[in-house]
Structure 1
Amino acid sequence: MTDPTLKYREQHKQRLSYMPWLYWTLKPKQREWAQAWQQQWQHYLQQMETIEVKGDCFISPDAKLFAERGRPIIIEQGSFIGAHAVLHGPITIGKNVGINHHVTMDGGSKGITIGNNCRIAAYCHFYAFNHGIAAERNVYEQPVTSKGIVLQDDVWLGAHVGIVDGVTIHKGAIVGMQSVVTKDVAAGVVVGGNPAKFIKNRG
Structure 2
Amino acid sequence: MWNKIWKGIQYPSRIPFKIDRCLGTIRAKYEFQSNSQISLFSKITAPHLVTIGPNTVIDPFTVIKPQQSSGIDIGENCTLHEFGFLAGNIEIGDGVRIAQKVSMHSFNHQIDPESPIHEQDLEHGKITIGDDVWIGCDVTILKDVEIGKGAVIGAGSVVTSDVEPYDIVVGNPADRVDTRK
Identical counterparts, % of pairs: 31
Which runs of structure 2 are paired with 1:135-174 in the superposition (5 Å)?
A: 135-174=113-152
Helix, strand or coil for the counterpart of 1:140? Answer: helix
1:98 partnered with 2:79:
yes
Equivalent in 20, 30, 40 of residue 61 of structure 1:
40
Q: Which amino acid aligns with 2:132?
A: D
Structure 1's 68 and 101: CA in aligned 2 closer, same or farther, altered over 3 A?
A: closer
Q: Partners in 1 of 2:96 and 2:29 — Cα distance?
A: 25
Task: Structure 1 unaligned segments of length 5 or more: list them.
Answer: 3-8, 24-33, 47-51
Which runs of structure 2 are paired with 1:46-195 in the superposition (5 Å)?
A: 46=31, 52-54=32-34, 56-67=35-46, 72-89=49-66, 90-107=71-88, 111-195=89-173
- After alignment, is 184-193 or 141-150 more displaced? 141-150
Runs of 4 or more, structure 1, over 6 Å off, are: 9-12
Structure 1's 11 and 181: CA in aligned 2 closer, same or farther, altered over 3 A?
A: closer
Q: Decide whether the 8 Å contact of 1:53 with 1:74 is kept in 2.
A: no
Q: Which amino acid aligns with 2:38?
A: I
Q: Decide whether the 8 Å contact of 1:53 with 1:76 is kept in 2.
A: no
- Alignment TM-score, normalising by the size of structure 2: 0.85
Count of residue pairs the alignment pairs up: 168
Instruction: Using the TM superposition, give the Cα deviation of residue 16 of structure 1 relative to its aligned residue in structure 2, in angstroms.
Output: 4.8
Helix, strand or coil for the counterpart of 2:169? Answer: strand
Q: Partners in 2 of 1:140 and 1:11 — Cα distance?
A: 36
Instruction: Using the TM superposition, give the Cα deviation of residue 135 of structure 1 relative to its aligned residue in structure 2, in angstroms.
Output: 1.0
Instruction: Using the TM superposition, give the Cα deviation of residue 40 of structure 1 relative to its aligned residue in structure 2, in angstroms.
Output: 3.8
Task: Structure 2 unaligned segments of length 5 or more: list them.
Answer: 2-7
Q: Partners in 1 of 2:148 and 2:120 — Cα distance?
A: 31
Q: Decide whether the 8 Å contact of 1:155 with 1:173 is kept in 2.
A: yes
Instruction: Using the TM superposition, give the Cα deviation of residue 137 of structure 1 relative to its aligned residue in structure 2, in angstroms.
Output: 1.0
Q: Partners in 2 of 1:38 and 1:195 — Cα distance?
A: 35
Helix, strand or coil for the counterpart of 1:113? Answer: strand
Q: Partners in 1 of 2:18 and 2:118 — Cα distance?
A: 39
Q: What is the aligned-residue RMSD (CA, Å)? A: 2.3
Post-superposition Cα deviations, 1:117-139, rounded to whole Å, max 9, x if no partner, equal 00000000000111111111111
Instruction: Using the TM superposition, give the Cα deviation of residue 39 of structure 1 relative to its aligned residue in structure 2, in angstroms.
Output: 4.7
Aligned to 2:17: 15
Q: Partners in 2 of 1:11 and 1:141 — Cα distance?
A: 39
Structure 1's 16 and 177: CA in aligned 2 closer, same or farther, altered over 3 A?
A: farther
Instruction: Using the TM superposition, give the Cα deviation of residue 53 of structure 1 relative to its aligned residue in structure 2, in angstroms.
Output: 3.6
Post-superposition Cα deviations, 1:166-194, rounded to whole Å, max 9, x if no partner, equal 00000000000000000000000100000
Q: Which amino acid aligns with 1:38?
A: G
